[in-house]
Amino acid sequence: MPTPTLRPSTLADLETHVAHRVAMFRDMEMGTEEGRKRMADAFRHQLRGWLVTGQCRGFVLMDQGLIVASVLMLLKDTLPTPVTPLSVRGYLFNVYTEPLHRRKGLAARLTAASLDLARDLGIEIMELHASLEAEGMYQRMGFVPTSEMRLVMSAGIKTPKQWKHRR
């Protein structure tokens, strides 16, 4: 079977990225269908703007004319630190592989392509939030866990199980 073909995302891939985001959270059992629909509607609008301005870049892997995996990278404003004075970081998100294509190294291939692009753009730090299932892959690629913490301040938001017991 041929190796899937890598190409940069375009605005024409918007609905695929939205669908992959919904599927990713469904697979992680995060949120409700209603919540994922609300998220998809807001994300569609947000991502469209980011893709048009170039604030977000992405890649897809094509197999026999179909997108089987995708990734997005946000160029995120942040504060300078003693580690780097650069006020832009890369943020990888929406790393998703269709179920029938998993365990073939596609997520690692997408991540590597994103890291190469980030280096070409002069990005010095890449961040991401990994699912429990993907943590090992990212650690093998050089990512390290950080001390990030969160406080859910709205009484109506249930803390997802993925946010608990990460250390």
Supply the mean pLDDT for the chain: 92
Least confident of 57-61, 79-83, 126-130, 154-158: 154-158
β-sheet bridge partners, residue 77: 88
| Helix (H/G/I), strand (E/B), else coil: 74 | strand
Q: Angle between the 33-53 and 14-27 helix axes, to the nearest 10 degrees?
A: 140
pLDDT at 74: 98
- Encode pLDDT of 125-157 as tens digits: 999 998 888 899 999 999 998 888 777 788 777
166, pLDDT greater than 80: no
Domain layout of the chain by residue ranges: 5-163
DSSP 65: T
- Encode pLDDT of 114-123 as tens digits: 999 999 999 9
Per-residue pLDDT band at 35 (split at 50, 70, 90): very high
Averaged over 36-51, what is the pLDDT? Answer: 98
- Encode pLDDT of 3-17 as tens digits: 999 999 999 999 999
Answer yes or no: are the C-beta atoms of 101 and 4 closer than 8 Å. Answer: yes
Percent of the chain with pLDDT strictly greater than 70:
94
CATH 3.40.47.10, applies to 5-163: no
